[in-house]
Amino acid sequence: MMSEPLILGIETSCDETGVGIVRGTTLLADAVASSVEQHARFGGVVPEVASRAHLEAMVPTIDRACNEAGIKLDDVDAIAVTAGPGLAGALLVGVAAAKTLALALNKPIYGVNHLAAHVCVDQLEHGPLSEPSIALLVSGGHSSLLLVPDVTQDVIQLGQTIDDAAGEAFDKIARVLGLPFPGGPYIDAAAKEGNPEAISFPRGLTTPKDLAKHRFDVSFSGLKTAVARWVEQEQRTGNSVMVNDVAASFQEAVVDVLTRKAIDACLSNDVGTLVIGGGVAANSRLRVVAQQRCTEHGINLRIPSPGLCTDNGAMVAALGSELVKRGRSASQLTFAMDSSMNVTTVVA
């Protein structure tokens, strides 16, 4: 065994079967099999379809990752797997596969938190995380603002979505505008051709009264309703809907709230580093505005490349590697997946 641990990570929380292999903080393989096309005709992820796709993709994806990394399964020092949060059936597939490998290979296993893994994956590109950091996690299922003194055992939730997650709002507005699923990339592309100031859409939980109670929480249900009503009104009056302008204005409202609250969290907690992760972190406008506002306030911004923002096995392996390196206790082989695992629970 070399000085840096060799970790295999398995991610199956939603519609991507991800297997990553990491040595220390060096990414050796990141194999992903996505079932998104199977869900597109339904306009959203179908849990049963996702579970079946994981079953079919698991062994080929593990083989592909090992070949890419140039290793054999017996070479790994530990197995890490997403234990939650996520779709129950999808999680079960990944956890069962990881437990089988751990038992057969006689290796320790770490059932890890999907959200903490989204924070830790940035280390693969930008080196060790500053401690503490503020993390803004934005995806299809989660929008969270976290204080992270130690990603392996100390994650404090400052705020979260009280209704729709950011990615969920992107998907729903894409449907309203007649754009394909998943909505994020299509909204992003349309917005580049639109005017973000064309329509003044609401910024949820930003009034003084809201901030007193929900300073670091976010809400997108009101924004989603406002966009849908605006589009309906235009259609009712016979006007053509300017899709690009609506997309740009909607996206600007989301990005404005997310970055404003993230900066406030950094300043109020005297933390000089902001990490953004999750699928919505691939959004080009979010990256631009976050960088502008971080630069304005002297905050160091860290965002992984778009390929590492979406769900993947590399992020799970990255967190597993950090857990091994810091001597954290492995999970019992009897641990259970937890579809509603709280972000403050790093290891099951």
What are the tens digits of pLDDT across the range 46-104?
989 999 999 999 999 999 999 999 999 999 999 999 999 999 999 999 999 999 999 99
Domain ranges of the chain: 6-121+312-325, 129-306
pLDDT in tens, 300-338: 999 999 999 999 999 999 999 999 999 999 999 999 999
The CA distance from 175 to 321, in Å, is 39
Token couple for 265: 């969290």
pTM for the model? 0.95
Q: Sheet of 6-11: strands edge to edge?
A: 26-34, 16-23, 6-11, 78-84, 109-113
Nearest to 346 by CA among 334, 328, 333, 332: 328
Q: How confident is the model at residue 44 (pLDDT cuts 50, 70, 90)?
A: confident
Single-letter code of the amino acid located at 261: K
Q: Is 20 exposed, middle or buried (0-12, 13-18, 19+ CB in 10 A)?
A: buried
Query: β-pairing, 154-160 with 143-150?
Result: antiparallel
What single string gives the DSSP state of each residue in 289-343? HHHHHHHHTT-EEE---HHHHSS-HHHHHHHHHHHHHTTPPPBPTT----TT--T
CB 16 within 8 A of CB 38: no
Q: For the chain, what is the radius of gyration of the CA atoms?
A: 20
Residue 47 has a pLDDT of 87
Q: For the chain, what percent of residues have pLDDT higher than 70?
A: 99
Q: Return the SS3 of 111.
A: strand
> With 60 as the cut, is the pLDDT of residue 2 above it?
no
CATH fourth-level superfamily of 129-306: ATPase, nucleotide binding domain (3.30.420.40)
Q: Which CATH topology does 6-121+312-325 take?
A: Nucleotidyltransferase; domain 5 (3.30.420)
Residue 1 has a pLDDT of 40
pLDDT in tens, 135-186: 999 998 889 999 999 999 999 999 999 999 999 999 999 999 999 999 999 9
Does 6-121+312-325 match 129-306 in CATH topology? Answer: yes
The CA distance from 239 to 231, in Å, is 9
Residues in CB range of 296: below 8 A, 6 or more apart:
none
